[in-house]
Amino acid sequence: MEKITINHIKAAKNREKIVMLTAYDALFAKLFDPYVDIILVGDSLNMVFAGKSDTLSATMDQMIYHTKAVCAGAKRSFILFDMPYGSYTTEEIALQNAIRVYKETCADALKLEGGAEKAPIVSYLVQNGIAVMGHIGLMPQHVRAEGGYKVKSDKEKLLSDAKALEDAGVFAIIVEGIKADLAKEITKSLSIPVIGIGAGKDVDGQVLVWSDMLGFFTDFKPKFVRRYLEGASLVEEAVRQYAQDVRSGSFPSEEESY
C-alpha cells in the first residue's frame, strides 16, 4: 500500500472526498489504516481515553505517547498530530513543540486551532519545515472561554480566518460546527482542502471521533454523528457472557486447556 502524503491530500481538492478518523492506539490505527486517508491523533483522547470533561488538560507528553502508538499501527494513512492547548501560544513555543513532534514521532503534520490571530504562528512553522492543518469554527480548546460548544455563524469572520490561514501556508483546514451553506462557501473560496465535522456535505472531506462513529461513547450523540456500530452494547454483551462463563465454570473448556 502506498503511503499517503501531503501531496495526496492537497491533490484531493475537487477530485475525491477525504476520509479522516481519530485514533489513539496501534490496535485501532491498524484497523482503520486500509480505509481512511488521514488518522488524527486528536486531543479528544483526553475525554475519550482519559475520561476528562474537556480537552484542555491534554499534554505534549500524552499526545506524543499516543501518536507513537498510532504510527506503530498505521503504515499507509497520513498521521496528523493535534497540538494540545497551550503548546502554540507563541511562535517560539509552537516551533519548539512542533520540532519535538517531528523528532519523537512519525507524524506527517500537525493541527492547531485558531483563525487569523494564529496566522503568524502558522507562517513561522511552515517557514521552518512544519506541515500545518488549520481548524476554525467551533474550537474545543475555547470551550471554557465561550461557555460551551456552540455552532458558529459569523460569515465574515470565518471567511477571513480561512483565507488568512491559507495565506499563512496551511495545507488544509478543518471547519467544525458551522452551518452547511457557510461551510460550502468557505470550501469554494479556498484552493486547499476543507474537511468538515458538523459542517454539512459540501466540503472536501469528513472527520469523526472514532468512539462517536462506532457507538462506544453513549452519554450523548451530537447531531452530526452517524453511528455505524453500537459498539458499547456489543462489548457489554460480550463481557457479560464472559463473566457468566467464568462463574459457571464453562470457560475454559477442555479444548481451551493445555
**pLDDT tens track for 84-93:** 999 999 999 9
Read off the pTM. Answer: 0.96
Q: pLDDT digit string (tens) for 137-165?
A: 999 999 999 998 989 989 999 999 999 99
Q: Which of 2, 92, 104, 176 is catalytic?
A: 176
What 151-158 contacts at long range (C-beta under 8 Å, 24+ apart), as own/partner pairs, is 151/177, 151/178, 151/179, 151/198, 152/177, 152/178, 153/178, 153/179, 153/182, 155/182, 155/185, 157/115, 158/115, 158/182, 158/186
Catalytic residue status for 176: yes
User: Can you give the pLDDT at residue 219?
Assistant: 85
- Smallest CA-to-CA distance from 193 within 5, 3, 16 is with 16
| CATH tag, 6-227 | 3.20.20.60
Distance CA 179, CA 167 (A): 23
Beta-sheet pairing, 18-22 with 172-176: unpaired
- Res. 230 pLDDT band, cuts 50 70 90: very high
Measured CA to CA, the distance from residue 192 to residue 166 in angstroms comes to 7
CATH 3.20.20.60 domain extents, the chain: 6-227
> Number of C-alpha atoms within 13 angstroms, CB side, residue 51?
0
Cell numbers at residue 141, please?
Answer: 480548546
229 confidence band (pLDDT: 50, 70, 90) = very high
- The amino acid occupying position 155 is K
- Residue 18 pLDDT exceeds 80: yes
pLDDT tens-digit series, residues 164-183: 999 999 999 999 999 999 99
| Spatial separation of the C-alpha atoms in residues 21 and 135, rounded to whole Å | 15
Mean pLDDT, the chain, as a whole number? 97
- Answer yes or no: are the C-beta atoms of 49 and 216 closer than 8 Å: no
Whole-angstrom distance, CA of residue 182 vs CA of residue 200 = 9
pLDDT single digits (tens) 215-228: 999 888 889 999 99
- Average pLDDT of the residues in 56-82: 97
